[in-house]
Amino acid sequence: MNIFGKIKNLFKKEDEDKKEIQKYDEGLSKTRKNFVEKILNINNKYEKINEEYLESLEEILINADIGVSTVLKLMDSIRKRIKEEKIEDVNLLKEVIVDEIFITYVNNDIIDTNVNTSNNINVILFVGVNGVGKTTTIAKLAHKFILEGKKVKMIAGDTFRAGAYLQLKEWASKTKSSFYGVEGQIDPSSVIFDGLKEAEQDGTQIVLIDTAGRLQNKDYLMKELDKINKTIKKVLPDVNQETLLVIDANTGQNGINQAKEFKKVTNITGVVLTKLDSTAKGGIVLAIKEEVGIPVKYIGFGEKDTDLEIFDLDKYIYGLFKGLI
């Protein structure tokens, strides 16, 4: 079955699996309104596919913040399919658009959207600029792990921003996680070192580490993150570690630039895309994978503890194209 068929099956399952896909449906409504309505409008305007129609489609894809280079690649594939399959009817092209967006994201890779955890101590390091929702993402992920019966510790590795320590400490209390931090502008690696030692002794299974959100001084950031990574390996040589980059979906292409810059300074294993429900730029999911080569592992659709979802490509495309298919 092709992706178009799989997505149509999700529509059929909507009533019985409503809880699983409702957040994608609601969370992508702004992007879908901006995206699907425009495609339907040009489909009503043109009876047959021509170059003017394809240029309009390209503009719609770019405005959804899928990214220019991603859109150009996508349009090349769509044009090739039109020629090979001799497609003239604009309504028949809907299936091709859905298929090609799926193919572009997967790109023959095995997409691992899980944050990998083992039975030993697992460390998840969070990076990203200020204001993207790093601390609330840590809280939401802690909530998920605690519901799974894991023992979670938060470490306040952001010793630069005033109030970061207290904010994380408050979230630790709310989520019933343990907490380690030291107030004041001190070396974050020393805080992380002591926090990891404590985690080793108290049976913690999941360690969530906050870091300072600044990208202006790249050399300093590179040295700081390198030192933090060395500290983690020094305390826990065989640790299972993930480094998640948190990006605010509202920033669109600026979020792509952030991903490219952070990828230069540390090994990013996945992206958490926050505030997807408050933007019409949901196409950024495709651009991050295509342009930066990092999979989206979690998406945030709201402010509640439960509003963090493991990224599911089928449900994402469902939420993006409902009303078109």
Contact between 250 and 218 (Cβ < 8 Å): no
Residue 142: CB atoms within 10 A of its CB come to 24
pLDDT at residue 51 is higher than 80: yes
Report phi then psi at 323, rounded to 5.
105, -20
| Helix, strand, or coil (residue 288) | helix
pLDDT, tens digit (0-9, with 9 covering 90-100), for 130-157: 889 999 999 999 999 999 999 999 999 9
pLDDT, tens digit (0-9, with 9 covering 90-100), for 250-266: 888 888 888 998 998 88
Contact between 250 and 275 (Cβ < 8 Å): yes
Contact between 298 and 309 (Cβ < 8 Å): yes
Residue 197 has a pLDDT of 97
Percent of the residues in the chain that have a pLDDT greater than 70, as a whole number: 89
pLDDT at residue 115 is higher than 90: no
| Average pLDDT of the residues in 104-121 | 66
Of 119-133, 216-230, 303-317, where does the model show the most confidence?
Answer: 119-133
Report the C-alpha gap between 82 and 65 in whole angstroms: 24
Q: What's the alpha-carbon Rg for the chain, to the nearest Å?
A: 21
DSSP alpha helix (H) spans, the chain: 3-12, 18-27, 29-45, 51-63, 68-85, 93-106, 134-147, 164-175, 188-202, 218-235, 253-265, 284-287, 313-321
Question: Angle at Cα 10 formed by Cα 7 and Cα 15, nearest 5°?
Answer: 160
| Average pLDDT of the residues in 196-221 | 88
Enter the DSSP assignment of 290. I
| Token code pair at residue 140 | 């939401």
User: Hey, what CATH class is 3-106 in?
Assistant: mainly alpha
pLDDT, tens digit (0-9, with 9 covering 90-100), for 151-179: 999 999 999 888 899 999 999 999 999 99
Residue 3 has a pLDDT of 56
Q: Which residue, 136, 129, 125, is CA-closest to 160?
A: 129
122-312: CATH topology is Rossmann fold (3.40.50)
Report the C-alpha gap between 227 and 231 in whole angstroms: 6
Residue 1 has a pLDDT of 44
pLDDT at residue 16 is higher than 50: no
pLDDT at residue 180 is higher than 80: yes
pLDDT, tens digit (0-9, with 9 covering 90-100), for 263-313: 988 899 999 999 988 888 888 888 888 888 888 999 998 777 778 888 988
pLDDT at residue 12 is higher than 60: no
Percent of the residues in the chain that have a pLDDT greater than 90, as a whole number: 43
What string of DSSP letters covers 123-172? EEEEE--TTS-HHHHHHHHHHHHHHTT--EEEEEE--SSTTHHHHHHHHH
Contact between 153 and 180 (Cβ < 8 Å): yes
Q: Which residue, 157, 147, 149, 167, is CA-closest to 123?
A: 157
Domain ranges within the chain, ordered by starting residue: 3-106, 122-312
Residue 154 has a pLDDT of 98
Question: Angle at Cα 5 formed by Cα 271 and Cα 48, nearest 5°?
Answer: 100
Q: How confident is the model at residue 214 (pLDDT cuts 50, 70, 90)?
A: confident
